[in-house]
Amino acid sequence: MAEDNSKRTDVNELGEFGLIDHLTESVRIHHDNTIKGIGDDAAVLDNGADYRLISTDCLVEGIHFDLAYTPLKHLGYKAIAVNLSDIYAMNGFPEQVTVSIAISNRFSVEALEELYKGIRTACNNYKVDLIGGDTTSSPRGLFISVTAIGRVDKDKITYRSTAKKGDLLCVSGNLGAAYLGLQILEREKQIFQSIKGGLQPDLEDQQYLISRQLKPEARFDMIELFHKAELVPTAMIDISDGLASEIFHLCKQSNVGVILEESGVPIHPDAEKKSIDFGIDPITSALSGGEDYELLFTIDVKDIDKVKYLPDIYIAGEIVPKEDGIKLHTKGGNIHDIKAQGWVHF
Amino acid sequence: MAEDNSKRTDVNELGEFGLIDHLTESVRIHHDNTIKGIGDDAAVLDNGADYRLISTDCLVEGIHFDLAYTPLKHLGYKAIAVNLSDIYAMNGFPEQVTVSIAISNRFSVEALEELYKGIRTACNNYKVDLIGGDTTSSPRGLFISVTAIGRVDKDKITYRSTAKKGDLLCVSGNLGAAYLGLQILEREKQIFQSIKGGLQPDLEDQQYLISRQLKPEARFDMIELFHKAELVPTAMIDISDGLASEIFHLCKQSNVGVILEESGVPIHPDAEKKSIDFGIDPITSALSGGEDYELLFTIDVKDIDKVKYLPDIYIAGEIVPKEDGIKLHTKGGNIHDIKAQGWVHF
């Protein structure tokens, strides 16, 4: 086995994004219709009249989900929604998905039916066609890999790398709720396991936070709004690994800095309250939590009137020259450096 | 967990293909450009001037490969080659791939570099662009999911479902060698494990069979030959799960039967000899082995002259009406029913 080689570098030393960069840096491109390969939410292929978008992601049991509190139907729905989010983040619309599943024999046909019910529900809600379905066995655990295929007009495509000084930084929806939902579920699991026989936890008043974790929606409505308002963001990325991590990707690839206004970061009242209960500053939940699947985007200042009247969009900062760094302007009036502590899976 | 439901049907009762059919039978199609979804080697999307082909597959440690005897570089190469084979089987050419990998922390960066060396070598040999590279962690084991994207002219696309009575059944290359290579590797692994400290096995004279298992090639050369000869097969499928299993897919979807000539099935001399050593009739290795990644296709009789002079193509039978069944005509002159005992992973 190659692992017996003398040099052994742990993958944690590079982190997920460093690792991908390292492994794919010498990739050669052979086809003119490959417009954009690795490095954005989705790859971009020239389709003649428009662009085809391709995005792939996988969900692994024990890393991305815990079946102790994740219903299989919700998991199927989420596997599709989070992949579609990458297509929306290019300002496009998904049209097809393929799903590869590896399962151990502890899963029954009925369990798989539940998973596929969620997959089909998501496909119908988002109007995408399930066009490929590889299902194989795994010695242990459940793996789900989804590839989403979408389409975008050539004059509407929005990359991560095209934000420019003076642009306004915007966020859709609200942030941190999915992370707090996960903390609640993890805590309840521990309580449940420590009481043999088990009390059923009362999670009624936590419904919003838990649903943000278990059944996230991708923001197709935002992309529809943009198209109706004839707004093309100057740059966009979806918020899957926490606001801080996505800000770093966007700034690094656009070669700019940012001033983020704490007062402009949208946080749901339930998330604010629960974050304080857990002893976490709410802005930290928004910056370092994950799985919000909201959109982070920048607009040219001249488009501010187009955004002002759109629902559920928040102006949260301004793009500045790279030399000015990546900073948070707190409600208290202080300026801090933002750290890229995204959701690290390694 | 949904697995606690009262009814529990084991996935083995349905088998891989029955399971996929069952789970995807009520899938709805929303987009006109989805020409063909689940049910062939690749999905087909209308691209305007031509068709885009999409195929997805996954390889799971402990099911599809054993790292005790599979070098990671070969594994990376194979993961790409076997997916491209599905695009060639539609008579098209692959142009892009995405690769999702889930790995446990027992893999070092150096081990991943080996895997990616194989992936890049395959991409360069087959001239495909690596456009997406999700890499995440897994609690145990290595999981590789590849999606291949290709293209085919609308008048050249070849489905599984369009073979017709009187067509000739053809096979490229030779069959059974990869299966026998696997048997050799499995046997050597057992011998190695039983002798502590271990003798290095002498596999010199088994090189051909082992290389067919560890480093299979997809038959892009066949598709180039077809295009040069202006030959469009009437139906085609790649041979990944054994000749018998693929014959069943092709006949079921084309609603036809077949008479397979044992004397027409190409088997390499090394495979013939080794099969006999193992006490297996060589035709059984060809019918029930797997991972040959050769092409099984049918041609109209009027095209026989186009095929006759092409290298490495063998006429192995004839398509008959469905009522006549799926039969093998042995060298001894007997007629047997062929059983669909493909490579069952469950």
Cα distance between residue B339 and residue A44, in whole Å:
44
From the list A168, A338, A346, the residue with the least C-alpha distance to A252 is A338
Rounded Cα distance, B247 and B326, in Å: 8
Q: Does A346 touch chain B (CB under 8 A)?
A: yes
Coil vs helix vs strand at B65: strand
pLDDT at residue B252, rounded to an integer: 95
Q: Which ranges in chain B are annotated with CATH 3.30.1330.10? A: 2-152
Q: Which CATH superfamily is domain B2-152 in?
A: PurM-like, N-terminal domain (3.30.1330.10)
| Closest residue on chain A to B99 (Cα) | A56
Average pLDDT, integer, range B18-39:
87
- Could you give the CA distance from residue B79 to residue B76 in angstroms, rounded to a whole number? 5
Residue of B nearest to A57 (CA): B134
Q: What is the CATH number of domain A32-152?
A: 3.30.1330.10
Strands A335-337 and A313-321: unpaired
> Which part of chain A is CATH 3.90.650.10?
168-337
Which range is least confidently modeled, A220-234, B17-31, B177-191, B242-256? B17-31
In angstroms, the CA B132 to CA A39 distance is 8
Domain A168-337 sits in CATH at 3.90.650.10
List the single residue in B8, B43, B68 with the smallest CB-CB distance to A108.
B8
In chain A, list all ranges with CATH 3.30.1330.10: 32-152
Q: How far is CA B51 from the centre of its chain?
A: 22
Task: List, for residues A166-207, the tens digit of each pLDDT value.
Answer: 999 999 999 999 999 999 999 988 887 877 655 556 677 789
Interface test with A, best of B20, B45, B85, B109 (most A CBs within 10 A): B109
CB atoms within 10 A of CB B108: 20
Is B32 in CB contact (< 8 Å) with chain A? no
Question: What is the torsional sign of CA A286, A289, A294, A300?
Answer: positive
Model confidence band, residue A133 (pLDDT cutoffs 50, 70, 90):
confident
Helix (H) or strand (E) holding A102, with range, is strand A93-103
Residue of A21, A131, A146, A214 to mutate, interface with B, max B Cβ within 10 Å: A131
Answer yes or no: are the C-beta atoms of B293 and B234 closer than 8 Å.
no
Q: Which is it for the CA torsion A133, A134, A138, A142, positive or negative?
A: negative
ipTM of the complex: 0.91
pLDDT of residue A119: 96
pLDDT tens for A69-103 read 999 999 999 999 999 999 999 999 999 999 999 99
Note whether A182 and A64 are within 8 A (CB). Answer: no
Cβ separation of A149 and B45 shorter than 8 Å? yes
DSSP state of A148: E
CB atoms B71 and A2 under 8 Å:
yes
In chain B, pLDDT over 90 holds for what percent of residues?
78
Residues of chain B found within 8 Å of residue A134, distances taken between Cβ atoms = 20, 56-58
Which of A216, A218, A253 minimizes the C-alpha distance to A235? A253
Mean pLDDT across B258-268: 97
CA distance B226 to chain A (A): 22
Residue that wins the pLDDT comparison between B23 and A201? B23
Residues A291-339 have pLDDT tens digits of: 999 999 999 999 999 998 889 999 999 999 999 999 999 999 999 999 8
Structure tokens at A289: 């939590």
| Chain A contact present for B54, CB below 8 A | yes
